[in-house]
Amino acid sequence: MELIVSISSVVIALAALFIAYWQGHFTRQHNRLSVTPRLQTHTDQDDSGNSGHIELILSNAGVGPGIIKTFELKKNGELVGELSKELVYTELKGLPLKTKNVRTSWIQPGYMMGEKEKFSLVRIEFEPSVPTIPASALLDGIREIFDSYEIVSDYESIYGDKFEFKNTKERAGGTGSVPS
């Protein structure tokens, strides 16, 4: 009888150990999914009245922080470098507008982008230099300039899961990130 009790105790202990391991495994999987960052870009714009603004914003729409590993700006597949005011002014030369203000920002590798955080990459405040041109028409031209560039970023979740972000126009909705 003592042998049966001993064997039963060992079987119960092994079953409890297996269940604890199994539960820990699924808890870890759930935790990884519950802190998955998702980078995306969108534009904020206003063309009311005679002036307007357009802003390109990078945001983390995921449910956890994203650790930026690389952040690059490309045009026609070639690395451009960081976004700068000089680059923006050069690109805007062909448009009939007066820039009131241009603000640029750039993300450095190692930056931790918080959940729901928004980061303004470029903001252009302008007014038409030709009064007959509506600000809305200028927004289309500026959007075309934005679309001619590609932002590419490799980033990770806090668990080390790797993702790649590309804001290419070919992607659904023009923005997004995919696991790499």
pLDDT tens digit sequence for 127-169: 877 777 777 788 888 988 998 999 999 999 999 999 999 987 6
Q: How many domains does the chain have?
A: 2
Q: Are residues 20 and 56 in the same domain?
A: no
**What domain range includes position 9?**
1-33
Distance CA 84, CA 72 (A): 13
Q: What is the pLDDT of residues 95-131, one digit of tens each?
A: 888 888 999 999 999 999 999 999 999 999 988 777 7
- DSSP string spanning 40-105? EEEEEEE--TT-EEEEEEEEE-SSS-EEEEEEEEEETTEE--S--HHHHHHHHTTSSEEEEEEEE-
**What pLDDT was estimated at residue 55?**
94
Residue given tokens 């804001």 in the structure block: 167
Q: Please give the share of the chain, as a percent, with pLDDT higher than 90.
A: 48
Q: Dihedral of CA 146/166/41/112: which sign?
A: negative
Q: Are residues 22 and 106 in the same domain?
A: no
Q: Are residues 40 and 66 in the same domain?
A: yes
| Amino acid code (one letter) for 76 | N
Q: Are residues 100 and 143 in the same domain?
A: yes
Q: Are residues 60 and 116 in the same domain?
A: yes
Q: Are residues 86 and 121 in the same domain?
A: yes
Q: Are residues 117 and 40 in the same domain?
A: yes
Q: Are residues 8 and 50 in the same domain?
A: no
Q: Are residues 29 and 51 in the same domain?
A: no
Q: Are residues 95 and 108 in the same domain?
A: yes
Burial call 115-138: b when 16+ CB within 10 Å, e when fewer: eeeebebbbbbbbbeeeeeebeeb
Distance CA 100, CA 126 (A): 5
- Check if the beta carbon of residue 109 is closer than 8 Å to that of residue 69: yes
Q: Are residues 102 and 135 in the same domain?
A: yes
What is the CB neighbour count within 10 angstroms for residue 113? 21
- Over 50: is that where the pLDDT of 173 sits? no
Q: Are residues 91 and 122 in the same domain?
A: yes
Q: At what angle do helices 85-92 and 135-147 cross, to 10 degrees?
A: 120
